[in-house]
Chain A
Amino acid sequence: MVNQQALAVTAQHLSKEAEFESLVLRYQNSVYNIALRMAGNPDEAQDLAQEAFVRAYRSFDSYRRGTSFDKWLYRIVTNLYIDEVRRRRRRPYVESLDERIMMAGGDEIDREIADLSHSPETVYDREHLDACIQSALGQMSPDFRMAVILCDIEGFSYEEIAQIMGTSIGTVRSRIHRGRRALRERIAPCLPAQSGEVRPK
C-alpha cells in the first residue's frame, strides 16, 4: 500500500525543486554578474554563485513567498562573499606578480600584466575600461564594493540596498559616497573624458 503521507511529502519536495529551479533560471544571470563584479574572476564568481544557490535552497523554507526573492538571494550572496573575504584574510594567499608561471608541461612563462592607467590608445576600448573598473572595484573594501555594485550595476535604491546588506540607509549612503570617491580617483585615467585632474577639495 502506498504511504499517502510519504507521497504527499515527495510531491511537495518535487514542487519545491521545480519552484526553486525556475527562480534560479530567472536570477542566475544577475547573481553571477554580481558575483563576478565582487570576486573579480570567472572561476571564483561561479563558485560563489553556485554556493549562494545551494545555501538559498537549503534555507528555501524560510523564504517568505510573495516577498522579493532577488533581494533575499542577493543578501545571501553578500553575506557569503563577505564571510569568504574574512576567512581568506585569516589565511591570506600571497602570490608574487614577478614570479614566473609554471605550465603543466613543465615550461615557464612570464606574466603579462595590463597597465590600465596608461596607454591612452587602449583605454577607450570598452573592454579595457571594464577591466579598469573591475580592477578599481577589487581594491575597495567588500562592503563599499557591494554597495556600489548593487546601486550602479543592479540599479537598487538605497533603501533596497540597506535591506539586502542588513544596514541602515545612512550607512549605505556613506559606503556609496566613499566607494565612488575611491573609484573616481582610480578610474579617472581610464575614462575617455580624461578628467582625472579633478580632485575633491
Chain B
Amino acid sequence: MTCNMTQRLISAYVDRELSEDERARVRQHLALCPDCMAVYEMTLEVKTALGSMAPAPCPECLWEDVRDRIAALPFQIETGYTSGFRPLRAIWSFARLVVPAAVAGTIVAIPLVHMIFGVSLFGPSGSRQQPIAASTPPRLVISAPASEGAGFVRYQTARMSSSSSKQFGLDTTLRGDGDPSSPDDRLGLLLEQMQDASLTCTWIGGSTHE
C-alpha cells in the first residue's frame, strides 16, 4: 500500500470505519512508515481536540422563543379525521403502489398470453386464434338465395368487436356469376381482404338478376 492510499484511509482508520482487510493493510503500512505514522497521530489529535471542545451551554431562552413562535403559528382544526389514520391518504398511497404495478403487469401479460395460449385479448371475448384455411375464411358468413344465371349480391362488412359486431357501413356490390358459393375473382379478393383485416361479412340483400 502506498503512502497516498494509506493517508486517504487514515481518517476512516481513526474512526474505525474500515473493513478488517483495509484496517490490517493500513496498520501494516503505519508500522513501517514514520511519515504516515505522523499523519495518523496528527489526525488522532485533531479528532481528540474536536471531541474535547467545551460544550457550549444552550441559552435558556431557546425553548421559550421556540414556544412563542410555535404559538404564533396558525392553529388549524381539521374538520375531517381526528385520528392519525386518513383514509384518502391511505387509498392514495395504496393506489400509488398498486396502479403502476398493475399497468406494468398488463403490458407484460398481453403479449405473453397472446404468444403462449394464442388467445387474442382484443378480439371477441375468449376467442382463440384458429388456423385459417386458405379456401374458406372462418368468420365469413355468406348466405344468399339460390340463384340462377348472372346477377349481383350486396354485402355489408362489419368488424367483429368482442361479442357484438359493429357495422361500419361499407356497402359493397359485387357482380359475379350469381353463385355466391363459387365466388368470382372480385369476391375472392374481398374475402381475402376481409380475412386479413379480421372483417366479417354478412349478406344483407340483393338480386339474382340485374
B58 contacts A by Cβ under 8 Å? yes
Closest to A182 in B: B46
Q: Is the CB of B43 within 8 A of A184?
A: yes
| Chain A residues, CB < 8 A from B79 | 5
Given contacts A5-B79, A32-B62, contact A54 B53 (CB under 8 A): no
**A36 touching B56 by the CB < 8 A rule?**
yes
Contacts of B4 in A (CB 8 A): 201
- B171 sits at the interface (CB 8 A): no
The answer to whether B58 touches A201 (Cβ under 8 A) is: no
Contact A152 B12 (CB under 8 A): no
Bound Cα distance A82, B67 (Å): 24
* A29, B58: Cβ atoms closer than 8 Å: yes
The residues in B between 48 and 64 inclusive whose CB is less than 8 angstroms from any CB of A are 49-51, 53-59, 62-63
For chain A, what secondary structure do more than half of its interface residues adopt (helix, strand, loop), or is it mixed? helix
Task: Name A190's closest neighbour in chain B (CB-CB).
Answer: B49
Interface: B82 (CB within 8 A): yes
Q: How far is the CB of A83 from chain B (nearest CB, A)?
A: 18
A151 at the interface (CB under 8 A from B): yes
Q: Which of A98-106, A112-120, A153-161 is found at the contact surface with chain B?
A: A153-161
Which residues in A have their C-beta under 8 angstroms from that of B70? Answer: 17, 20, 54, 57
B77 CB contact (under 8 Å) in A10, A129, A152: A10
Which residues B1-24 have CB closer than 8 A to chain A?
3-4, 7-8, 10-12, 15, 17
Shortest Cβ gap from A175 to chain B (Å): 10
Give complex CA distance A50, B58 in Å. 11
Total B residues in contact with A, Cβ cutoff 8 Å: 41
Chain B residues whose C-beta falls within 8 Å of the C-beta of A33 in the assembled complex: 55-56, 58
Q: Is the CB of A129 within 8 A of B46?
A: no
Name the B residues within 8 Å of A1 (CB-CB): none
**Residue B41 at the A interface, CB < 8 A?**
yes
Q: Evaluate contact between A133 and B12: CB separation under 8 angstroms.
A: no
Q: Across the interface, which residues of A come within 8 angstroms of B8, CB to CB?
A: 177
Return the contact of B45 from the options A17, A32, A193 (Cβ within 8 A): A193
Say whether B62 contacts A28, CB under 8 Å. yes
A71 surroundings in chain B (CB, below 8 A): none
Given A9-B78, A42-B56, check contact A195 B62 (CB 8 Å): no
User: CB of A44 within 8 A of chain B?
Assistant: no
Once bound together, how far apart are the Cα atoms of A181 and B42, in whole Å?
Answer: 10
* Additional A-B contact list (11), CB under 8 Å, known A31-B58, A54-B70, A151-B15: A13-B75, A20-B70, A28-B58, A29-B57, A32-B62, A54-B73, A152-B46, A173-B12, A180-B43, A184-B39, A184-B42
B interface with A by C-beta (< 8 Å): 3-4, 7-8, 10-12, 15, 17, 35, 38-39, 41-43, 45-47, 49-51, 53-59, 62-63, 65-67, 69-70, 73, 75, 77-79, 82
| Chain A to chain B contacts (Cβ below 8 Å), 18 pairs | A5-B82, A20-B70, A24-B66, A31-B58, A32-B56, A45-B56, A53-B62, A127-B54, A129-B49, A152-B47, A158-B12, A176-B11, A176-B15, A184-B46, A187-B49, A193-B45, A200-B7, A201-B3
